[in-house]
Structure 1
Amino acid sequence: MQPWAIKGELILNCNCTVFCPCVVSLGKHPPTEGHCQTWGGVRIDSGHYGDIDFSGLNIGLLIEIPGMMSRGNWKVALFVDERADDATFDALVKVFSGAAKGTTGLFQVLVGEFLGAERQPVTYETEGNTRHITVGRKIQGIVHPVGGADPDKDLVITNTQYWMGPDITVATATKGKVRAYGRVWDFDGRSAEICQIDWHGPK
């Protein structure tokens, strides 16, 4: 096993009509619609797998969960930044499939079907507090934090045991469109979350 690490930011937009209950229930409460359909984007500010550098690359995700998050049987697809060479592509697949253990190792337990991994042009841009994500023609997303009492501060759920990270910014999507692997989703106005990530693999 190679040591690995990823620092950056992750966003998710799902079909929940209000903020995702999985964050605070740790998967013990069902999604608001009874099942979860979600897409995600990851901006890798710095990272590596052994001697392979991930810094500056972006990732797209598609996740489908039939019920409670903790009960597994997830279906997952991975979209890797087209700028990744073959060795980097393979390493990122190992990390995001859970094969590399560490923070994402739970995917090995929870994912019942890995739909596939493919290269796509993935962009992850921040304008003010709004995140713009595109994954080729597969995913188009615009996500921003919901308003709080202090307009200069994000509404953040802190000190959680959520697998992504302890502090989750409550957000919503003004655009959340997916057309991939036979899925056609539109989650405009639905739940979203923003998380600073600091993931790592076995030491």
Structure 2
Amino acid sequence: MTETAKTAPKWHAVGDWFDTCKCNVPCPCSFAQPPTYGDCDGVLAWHVREGHYGDVSLDGLNVLMLGSFVGNVWAEHSDAYAAVFFDERADEAQREALQMIFSGQAGSWPAEMITMLGAEMRGMDFAPIEVQVDEDLGGWKATVPGRVEAAATALTGPTTPEGARVQSTNLPGSETGPGQVATCPGSETGPGQVATWSRATEDRAEAFGFSWSRKGQSSKHITFDWAGPND
């Protein structure tokens, strides 16, 4: 644990995470395999349902990241880049808290993930971020007006029971960390690391040197439950 993390107050954040990316469905990165085309880029969005950093409430705030990398992100460091948008609704104390957590300076899984990725940061901004997640996990959406749009609809097919979701457990490459404590809304598998799979209906970015526009590729939703600083 870093010296900065040691001085951070007790904090806890629970919520929804999802992505839209370049890979085919299902994204092999979630299974700790190389991406479909050897490289990947996409949108990652976090919605804090409930959270606090010391006595600072984080309830309802959003964070969005654009990222790209080459090769198996879980096994190698190569040409990884990222840029982050923080919720402009956050006041000064909340902005500091979000930056501490998502930069990894406050410990917990974000610190581990950032160390593992070694990504070069292309930029950071405070912006209007809208995140919507259906309670039944039928779909999700995130937007930064004029700069990012990500949306997806849950997978279904001729053998999927009506209203059921296509889900995976115990992912070897979960972006939200190992063994989640929170229960995934709509999940029939109870507490644990649950990914709900979907297909992107929108995946567009035009910011910080990232530029793409596509539909039909992979998307997934996983809850997150983080607490810090680490003991």
TM over 0.5: yes
Would you say 1:168 and 2:195 are equivalent positions? yes
2:167 — aligned with what? Answer: 156
The 2-side partners of 1:94 and 1:66 are apart by: 27
Task: Give the % identical residues.
Answer: 28
Check whether the contact 2:201–2:215 (CA below 8 A) recurs between aligned residues: yes
Deviation per residue, 1:111-168 (Å, 9 max, x gap): 3312222111001123562212111321112112111511211100013342414111
Residue 68 of structure 1 aligns with an amino acid whose one-letter code is N
Give the Cα separation in 1 of the matches to 2:92 and 2:116: 26
User: Which of 85, 102, 125 in structure 2 is aligned with 1:79?
Assistant: 85
> Is the 1:11–1:194 contact (alpha carbons within 8 Å) kept by the matching residues of 2?
yes
Q: Tell me the distance in 1 between the aligned counterparts of 2:56 and 2:123.
A: 22
Aligned residue in 1 for 2:188? none
Higher mean Cα deviation, 106-115 or 12-21? 106-115
Shift of the 24–124 alpha-carbon distance from structure 1 to 2, 3 Å rule, reads: same
Q: Taking structure 1 as reference, are residues 126 and 112 closer, same or farther at Cα in structure 2, changes over 3 Å only? A: closer
How far apart are residue 197 of structure 1 and its match? 1.3
Residue 23 of structure 1 aligns to a residue whose secondary structure is helix
Match of 1:123 in 2: 130
Q: Tell me which protein shows more strand as a share of its residues.
A: 1
Would you say how many aligned residue pairs link Structure 1 and Structure 2? 200
Q: Aligned runs of 1:43-82 on 2, under 5 Å?
A: 43-70=47-74, 71-73=76-78, 74-82=80-88
Tell me how far apart the structure 2 counterparts of residues 187 and 19 of structure 1 sit (CA, whole Å).
Answer: 16
Residue ranges of structure 2 left out of the alignment (5+ in a row): 181-192
Question: In the alignment, is residue 5 of structure 1 matched against residue 12 of structure 2?
Answer: yes
Q: Deviations over 1:168-202 (max 9, x none)?
A: 11111111111111111123111001111112222
How far 1:60 sits from its partner (Å)? 1.0
Q: What TM-score do the two structures reach when normalised by structure 1?
A: 0.91
Question: Are 1:196 and 2:212 an aligned pair?
Answer: no
**RMSD across aligned positions (CA):** 1.7
Report the counterpart of residue 139 of structure 1 in structure 2: 148
Structure 2 Cα separation of the partners of residues 61 and 5 of structure 1 = 20
Which has the larger Rg?
2
Question: Does the CA contact (< 8 Å) of 1:97 and 1:108 recur in 2?
Answer: no
